[in-house]
Structure 1
Amino acid sequence: MISLREWGPGDQHATRRLLIRAFGQPDEADLVESLRAEGAVILELVAEAGQQVAGHILYSVLSLEPVWESVQLAALAPLAVDPEFQRRGIGGALIHMSLPMLAHTGVDAVIVLGDAAYYTRFGFSPELAATLHSPFPPGDHFMALELSPGSIEGCGSKLRYARAFGL
């Protein structure tokens, strides 16, 4: 059985191992630790299978320049599922549980860089993100999801990621 919950400091080592296994390198684990150290984490959840951390999702602070009204954004990065537990809906469950939690904290929109075939299933849109100026090359892999309808439509501002991203 899989259970979802907020990340806690006791999950640090298990989360690092999971991220390295899922991505085959330590870069994402290092990013997560840097985001925590910077104080840029908005929300972080884990999925557990028994006593094992099987999945992880993190949202960090994302700002706009120039500021667009009083819109609050979050960057979804990373989302990871241990290879042993992939294709069981754990990533989707983490996304479904986290989005209402983000909305409750006042986040108006979420930005993600990832597989369009995957993230569009959850409502993320490359078209919505196309009006934003990203430090990443344009394309279908750059997507946005409004949690508050109309919050970033036509915005045109430049995205500023947390320092930990090194952009």
Structure 2
Amino acid sequence: MGPQILAVANQKGGVGKTTTTVNLAAALAEMGRRVLVIDMDPQANATSGLGVDRRTIDTSIYDSVVLGRPLADARRPTPIHGLDVVPSDIALAGSEIELVGLARREQRLHYALDAMQPDDDYVFIDCPPSLGLLTVNAVVAAQSLLVPIQCEFYALEGLGLLTHTTALL
């Protein structure tokens, strides 16, 4: 049985996607679970939040999703025992345009995870604040979707849009 794969997504920024991802992952690792965080956001805040110096990244999620390199090549340990990260970097910012012309563009992360066959208990995918191809890849690869929202009307409107989009997948 493989890991529980969860995408943390909301097209709205500033709602706590990265904070939710990093804290849930760290808490589960502290409880003795093996956890992998995949940072699909070009801002790379989950990467730096997990203690990875962005200047030291030579292989990232971009290399796996866009260039087809093995996901394991980008996996890095964090200072928290049992918690690894596949980092993001600024190269991911232009990837939506690059993905448009690629075969199975919405399934590339799914195939990369399948090929890696992670032995983790949990995989968290931190999504960018959009409903573009990076988020679509995360949702397709995930078994569950966590949607952090603020308690306000516009957040609920956005939840409806996200629900509609995921239903189309």
Do they superpose with TM above 0.5? no
Structure richer in helix, relative to its length: 2
Per the normalisation by structure 2, the TM-score is 0.29
Structure richer in strand, relative to its length: 1
Higher relative CO (Cα under 8 Å, sequence separation at least 6) belongs to 2
